[in-house]
Amino acid sequence: MSASACSAHDQRPRVCRIYPVEINPFVPLDPSAKACPSDAWSGTHPLLMRAGRLVDPDTAALIAQSREADRRDRVGKA
C-alpha cells in the first residue's frame, strides 16, 4: 500500500500518514490486523515493504521523525 494514496494524506497528523506501518520496529506489518480496505493491499499501489523491511522512503522518514519526537518527549512522558 502506498502511504500517500489518499489525496488528504499530506494534511493528516504524522501518525495517520504513517499508518498502516508499525512504528515499533519489533511489530511486523500484518495486513489482516489493519483497518484498511482490501484494495489498499493490491499490487497496484507502490510497494511499502519487502522481506519485512520498509522500502517506501517517505514513510521511513515519517517513522524516523516520530521516533525522534518520542525520544525528545520521553522525560515529559515519564
Q: What is the 3-state secondary structure (H, E, C) of 28-41?
A: CCCHHHCCCCHHHH
Contact between residue 13 and residue 69 where contact means Cβ atoms under 8 Å apart: no
- In this predicted structure, what is the pLDDT of residue 2? 45
Weakly modelled stretches of the chain, pLDDT under 50: 1-4
User: What is the reported pLDDT for 10?
Assistant: 65
**What pLDDT was estimated at residue 4?**
44
Cell 520498509 sits on residue: 54
Question: Grid coordinates standing for 7?
Answer: 489525496
Contact 21, 67 (CB under 8 A): no
- pLDDT value, residue 46: 60
